[in-house]
Each structure stands twice: as C-alpha cells, then as structure tokens.
Amino acid sequence: MPKELLKGNVAFAEAAIRAGCQAYFGYPITPQTELLEHMSSRMIELGRTFLQAESEVAAVNMVYGAASAGVRVMTSSSSPGISLMQEGFSYIAGSEVPAVVVDVMRGGPGLGNIQPSQGDYNQVTKTAGHGDFHPIVLAPSTIQEGIDLTVLAFDLAEKYRTLVFVVADGALGQMMEPAELPPMRETAPDRPAWALTGAGGREKNLISSIFLGADKLERLNQKLQAKLAEIAASEIRYEEFFVDDAELVLVAFGTAARVAKSAVQALRREGVPVGLFRPISLWPFPEERLYEISEQAKGFLVVEMNAGQMLQDVRAVVGRRYPVEFYGRMGGAIPMPEEIDGAINDALAKLDDSENKVPLEAGNGNVRNHV
C-alpha cells in the first residue's frame, strides 16, 4: 500500500479498522479526539459499531460488554479519562476478555493540560486498575510504528485474552507523518466459544470477575500470573541504536526517544560513545536485554516526559552498580535535543570523575527539571 500523510490519531483509528476492529466506544478528550471522530464516520460507513458514550466510565463498560460478546473492540482516551476507565480495565482483566486501549498521554496530574506527556507510565505498566494484573503496553515512537503496534495489539489481545494498551503522547497523536496503512482484514465471522451469544443448544456462558471464595480467587490469580509469565517470555520488544560500543546508554520511549535519538546521532558524528535503548513493550519491560547491555556500558541516562517513572524500572534492573542519571520534563513540555545533549555531557562527566559504581541512595532523584 502506498504511503499517505497521516495524523497520528487518525492513523491509529484507521489501523484498528484495518485490523478488524468491530466496535468502538469512546469519549472526546484532547489530545486524542480525532481518533473518536475518525471512528464516528468510518465505523458507520462500514456498518460496524460506533457509539460516543456519555463518559469514559460508560465507554470502558461498553467495551467490556462488547468484549464479553466476543468481538474485536477498542476504546481510546487520554490520562484523566484513563483514570476514569481504570475500574473497567480491572474488570476486563479479571474476566479475561480481550480489549485494546489507546492512551494518548497528556500533562497531569489532575486536569493538567493538553500538552504531550508520558506521565501515565506507572499507571498503565504497573497495573492500570486495582488488583494484580498488567496489560500488555506497547509504545510507538513514530506514526508508522503506531499503526503496526495497533494492529498487533488486537492480535495479542485475542491470543492471550487480555488487555493491550498502545500508549502514545499528545505529540504523536497530533503530528502528521507519511506512513503506510495495512490492507483491510476481514472481520471475524464467528464468535469464540466462551462469548455471550445466547445459550441455545449449549451450556450457558458466564463472563465475570467475582469469585467470593479465597481459594477460587487465588486460583484465578495464579492463572492470570501464569498468563503474564507467558507474555513476559514471548512479547518483549525493543530497539537499539548504537548500543554495542556505547559508554553511556540513553533509555527512552515514545516521543522522548525520538528526541534522544537526534541527540545521540549528533554526538556520534562527533565520536561521542553514546547509544539509545528504546523499549517498545513497556510491559513486559525488556529487563534481560537491558541487563546484558549494562555489562558493557558504564552508565545510563533515562529521558522521559515525566518525573522519572521508567527510571525506576531501569534502576531496578541495573541495580545500584551503575549510575543511572535522569533527565525529564513535566507538565507537557517536550525536551529538545540540545537539552539532552547537555544531560549527556553531564552524565559522561560524572562517569569520568568517579571510578563508576557510585551507589545511588534510594529516593535520590537526580531529577533535572528545567522550567
């Protein structure tokens, strides 16, 4: 298929449609509203299901309903709306129905603003709702990748009967880039055997997340944990850029990774030994590969558009043996390559000063926030 100039939100929506999404329920919230709007015309044109719900609370529960009926279904929102949906996410995870969610993150906390941010990292990777579960979380850094990961999201959701998030930020949602959409897939003709379709000719089906007895609920949780372990073993995705001989490895995802890449590219032209490790699956987090890299690197610089959320995951992997510096912007600000440049130089200087292996105290943020 030829490349087209596409707006991120529109690309994610159309990718979902090409992937066979049969139902979309959502609510307007900047900076992802174009996704809802695109769905509102295309889904109706195609005779599929579209509904603008009265709230994000309602939207996620409509998703839960359609997912229980066994159709490919998604919703999209942004940070405050994702908070509202968390109850629904937990129910979807506990009852093991597949669903896809696009989170186009914005500045927070609270009402925040409509600028791009990565402030939902903890919210979506740690659990996205109450109880023990993890959605699969995929983070594109270009619109093409967003398209590809949205299609993948539906496949993973169905394969594992789980929740899959595609997390972008407002910049990715709003920008336009040339990208290629996949051809239209057939929507699945049959519903899965577990779905709610009417109990004629078979035992009745039940989709539920309530198990009053501790033994039953523990068994469900063991089953969910086993599923997560299977996902963690098979669905790790990342990209490496000049990592093999890097002394300082930047770790970043999404838009922050694009900016970090520019900084790394420029410094490499000057012979500075830096590289970029870009997780694409934020959950499962690519711990093993990151740890392998840490054997040959001397230090890390995490760049995020938040106060240091993935930072904690990086620190957990490489432990206290390696310095892990941080550079972040918050409140919707996007770092510029020059700023990363500055942070890299500071980090490299620190590596030279110490004999490495400076233990970092717990809670000592090393957060640099430029106002």
Residue ranges that bind another protein, judged by CB under 8 A: 22-23, 25, 49, 51, 53-55, 57-59, 61-69, 71, 73, 87-88, 91, 95, 196-201, 204-210
| Smallest distance, another protein to C-beta of residue 64, A | 6
Nearer to another protein, 51 or 220 (CB): 51
Phi and psi of 69, rounded to 5°?
Answer: -85, 0
Cα-Cα-Cα-Cα torsion 95, 154, 188, 233, nearest 10 degrees, comes to -70
Nearer to another protein, 204 or 269 (CB): 204
Q: Are 48 and 23 in contact (CB under 8 A)?
A: yes
| Smallest distance, another protein to C-beta of residue 315, A | 35
Nearer to another protein, 30 or 197 (CB): 197
| Smallest distance, another protein to C-beta of residue 137, A | 22
Nearer to another protein, 56 or 339 (CB): 56
Q: Are 254 and 141 in contact (CB under 8 A)?
A: yes
| Smallest distance, another protein to C-beta of residue 165, A | 19
Nearer to another protein, 71 or 137 (CB): 71
| Smallest distance, another protein to C-beta of residue 96, A | 12
Nearer to another protein, 209 or 221 (CB): 209
| Smallest distance, another protein to C-beta of residue 338, A | 47
Peptide bond into 192 cis (omega under 30): no
Count the alpha carbons within 13 Å of 369 in the hemisphere toward its beta carbon: 12
The residue with tokens 């970090």 is: 260
| Smallest distance, another protein to C-beta of residue 93, A | 13
Please list, in sequence order, all residues whose beta carbon lies within 8 angstroms of the beta carbon of residue 170, skipping any fewer than 6 positions away: 30, 31, 78, 104, 105, 106, 114, 115, 116, 117, 332
DSSP structure string for 82-117 = HHHHHHHHHHHHHTT--EEEEEEEBS-STT--SSB-
Nearer to another protein, 57 or 307 (CB): 57
Planar angle of CA 107, 241, 13, nearest 5 degrees: 45
The Cα 95–Cα 185 span in angstroms is 27
Give every strand in the sheet of 99-105, ordered side by side: 49-52, 23-26, 73-77, 99-105, 163-169, 136-138, 281-283
| Smallest distance, another protein to C-beta of residue 86, A | 11
The Cα 173–Cα 8 span in angstroms is 4
The Cα 23–Cα 188 span in angstroms is 12
